[in-house]
Amino acid sequence: MCLKIEYKKIQEECGIFGGYAFCGHIAPYIKCALLKLQHRGQESAGICCGDEVQNLYKDFGLVNSVFKDYEISNLKGAFGIGHVRYSTFRDDRKENIQPLKIRYMGEDVSLAHNGNVSQAAHIREKFEKIGEVFLSASDSEVILKRIVFSLKKKPSEWTYDEVAKCINDNFSLGSYCIVIFTKNRIMAFRDPWGYRPLMLAKTAQGYFVASEDVAFWGLDVEEIVEIQPGCSVEITSGGVEYKTFDTTKKHKKCVFEQIYFASAASNIFSKNVYQTRVCLGELLAQCEDSDFCADVVVPVMDSGLGCAIGYAQKSGMPFHLGLVRNSWAERSFIQPEQKNRKNNVLQKFMPIKSVVEGKRVVLVDDSLVRGTTSSHIIKILKNAGAREVHMRSVSPKILNTCIWGVDIPTKEELICHGISDSKIAEKIGADSVKFLPLDMMKEVFEGDNWCLECFLEDRG
Ligand code: SF4
């Protein structure tokens, strides 16, 4: 399951959290963490807490609307996992919200994941042919049932090695992070390719894992560690054990975690997200023709902010917020209908007329996918009186889909597919467009352990 718009863009990954709270009540910590991971999924939220018996509460909506004080105080227990979700399909079935919980041999066990578990559909089909019934369309249920079927014993008796082997044997092609909650124990796994981030924190309040380290903000942190690809942790009241289950794969960190998905405050793959975006913006400014000149640099909030600051710093052009983002508008990717998405862009962005009126504007964003968001924003700026709008993307042209779980549309829907820059500008109503060349992006994402596949016309 994944996530983002076009009406804004591509879909990002869900957010996961899990751990053990020393005070015996983890639910408030999970809620706080999910709020900080809300940008990774806004369709639904779920928390499963307990010790021996697990209590699950989940619903559609934002974290704050799903979990009021009443729900949090009723979610008892020192151990727990949580999830915020965006799904790639229109989904109104509560059963599909994560975490998924089942009862097996008299014990509760629950699981949540993000990313793409590519073999799940095949395994589901195989199970159904032998009469297994699934209550949800979620891949979490497939993973959970695959483990149950392989181990055939009480979840409290599952050893770490058995669970790791089962996941790795059956889902070796996946790009996933998984948290599993069995009696008084949390296990967390990051896939051997390392497409998605997974972080561990040892704090004065407990031991926690999360999709991004921003989720630990506010805790008294003693140590934060990035769980490496093919590695995992097992958390009990006795402490944290860091383990390795597969180090044979070449790492493929998703650059969009840095460019777009993650919070600017997070440190993903050992790089601060905000600093990366500033750096990309600076490089983009260096690509401009020497005679290019504009009056103001305006970011597309939020992920374009750092990029625009970097661009303005390097180019010497003034930086201003020419657009305000309405934080209270729902993010448009959670509105699948085209008409709703358009309305959502209009609700979400408001121009500051005094900044853009009569000005030549450089509009800086993290990427262009279908171009629909950009085209609406350009229209908003021009309606507010902007004389020219020059669109700038700190990502190279997106030319391919993603087979690793990010919901990029088909090649034919991608604005950059098969047309020139001038045609792209014409389609989105810009006076010019420019993209950071892939070679320059590689100055920021050095080495060969980054995934850049969606920028390649052919994957090879
Ligand atoms: S293809 Fe693109 S979106 Fe997909 S994992 Fe690679 S970099 Fe990320």
Mean per-residue pLDDT, 311-323: 97
| 269 within ligand 1 shell (Cβ under 6 A) | no
Contacts of 65 (CB under 8 A, 6+ apart): none
Q: In this model, does residue 332 exceed pLDDT 80?
A: no
Pocket residue to mutate for ligand 1, from 12, 394, 406, 438, most atoms within 8 A of Cβ: 406
Using pLDDT thresholds of 50, 70 and 90, give the confidence band for residue 93. Answer: confident
Q: List Cα–Cα distances, 335 to 27, 42, 72, 331, 339, in angstroms.
A: 29, 11, 28, 8, 9
**Cβ–Cβ under 8 Å, residues 73 and 82:** no
Lowest mean pLDDT among 286-295, 368-377, 401-410, 439-448: 401-410
| Residue range 136-150: mean pLDDT, rounded | 93
Does residue 327 sit in helix, strand or coil? coil
CATH pick for 15-251 out of 3.40.50.300, 3.40.50.620, 3.40.190.10, 3.60.20.10: 3.60.20.10
User: CB 295: neighbour CB atoms within 10 A?
Assistant: 17
Task: Report the alpha-carbon angle 232-234-227, nearest 5.
Answer: 30
Strand positions, DSSP E, 305-431: 323-325, 349-351, 360-365, 388-393
Cβ–Cβ under 8 Å, residues 28 and 73: no
Top pLDDT among 313 and 336 is at 313
Listed in sequence order, the residues at least 6 apart from 454 whose beta carbon sits closer than 8 Å to its beta carbon are: 256, 398, 399, 400, 401, 402, 406, 408
Is pLDDT of 169 > 90? yes
Mind listing the pLDDT tens digit for each residue in 272-293?
A: 999 999 999 999 999 999 999 9
Q: Would the pLDDT of 220 be above 80?
A: yes
Tell me the two tokens of residue 350.
């408001």
The answer to whether the CB of 210 is under 6 A from ligand 1 is no
Strands (E), 227-346: 231-236, 239-244, 253-254, 267-268, 271-272, 296-299, 323-325
Question: Looking at residues 330-341, what average pLDDT do you find?
Answer: 49
**Ligand 1 pocket: which of 404, 438, 445, 452 to mutate (most atoms within 8 A of CB):** 404
pLDDT at position 58 is 97
Single pTM value for the model: 0.91
Euclidean distance between CA atoms 160 and 256, whole angstroms: 31
How far is residue 369's CA from residue 409's CA, in Å, rounded to a whole number? Answer: 8
Higher pLDDT, 189 or 116: 189
Q: How far apart are CA 457 and CA 411, in angstroms?
A: 9
382-409 pLDDT per residue, tens: 999 999 999 999 999 999 988 887 877 7
Q: Is 178 in the pocket of ligand 1 (CB under 6 A)?
A: no
Residues taking part in catalysis: 14
Considering only CA atoms, which of 16, 13, 41 is closest in space to residue 253?
Answer: 13
Sorted by where each begins, the domain ranges of the chain are 15-251, 271-455
Q: Would you call 248 exposed, middle or buried from its count of C-beta atoms within 10 A (0-12, 13-18, 19+)? A: exposed
Provide the pLDDT for residue 198: 97
User: Any residues with CB less than 8 A from the CB of 204 and at least 6 apart, and which?
Assistant: 22, 219, 220, 222
Judge contact between 230 and 190, C-beta under 8 A: yes
Indicate if the pLDDT at residue 9 is higher than 70.
no
d(CA 409, CA 395): 16
pLDDT at 334: 41
Residues 6+ apart with CB under 8 A from 361: 294, 295, 296, 297, 298, 322, 381, 386, 388, 389, 390
For 121, phi then psi, to 5°, come to -65, -40
| Neighbour count for residue 167 (Cβ, 10 Å) | 26
Long-range contacts formed by 383-388: CB under 8 A, 24+ apart? 383/351, 384/351, 384/352, 384/353, 384/356, 384/357, 385/353, 385/356, 385/357, 385/358, 386/322, 386/356, 386/357, 386/358, 386/359, 386/360, 386/361, 387/358, 387/359, 387/360, 388/294, 388/360, 388/361, 388/431
Q: How far apart are CA 153 and CA 168, in angstroms?
A: 19
- The structure tokens listed for 14 are 């869900």
Euclidean distance between CA atoms 332 and 343, whole angstroms: 9
**Residue 205 alpha carbon to ligand 1 centre in Å:** 35
Fold for 271-455, please state it: Rossmann fold (3.40.50)
First to last CA, the chain: 26
Q: Above 60 in pLDDT, residue 184? A: yes
In 41-184, which residue ranges form alpha helices assigned H by DSSP? Answer: 63-66, 69-74, 120-129, 139-151, 160-170
The pLDDT, as a whole number, for residue 7 is 37
What percentage of the chain exceeds 70 in pLDDT?
92
d(CA 295, CA 344): 28
Per residue in 15-52, pLDDT (tens digit) is 999 999 999 999 999 999 999 999 999 899 999 999 98
Q: Check pLDDT > 70 for residue 10.
A: no
Tell me if 453 CB under 6 Å of ligand 1: yes
Contact 27, 54 (CB under 8 A): no
Instruction: Assess whether the C-beta atom of 261 lies below 6 angstroms from ligand 1.
Output: no
By alpha-carbon position, which residue is closest to atom 6 of ligand 1? 451
Question: For residues 226 and 232, what is the distance between their CA atoms, to the nearest angstrom?
Answer: 10
User: What average pLDDT does the segment 48-68 reach?
Assistant: 96
How much is the pLDDT for 1?
34
Provide the mean pLDDT of the chain: 91
Average pLDDT over every residue of 300-311: 95
- Could you tell me which residue, 425 or 458, shows the higher pLDDT? 425
SS3 state at 436? coil
H or E element in which residue 207 lies: strand 206-210
* Residue 3: band (very low, low, confident or very high) from pLDDT cuts 50, 70, 90: very low
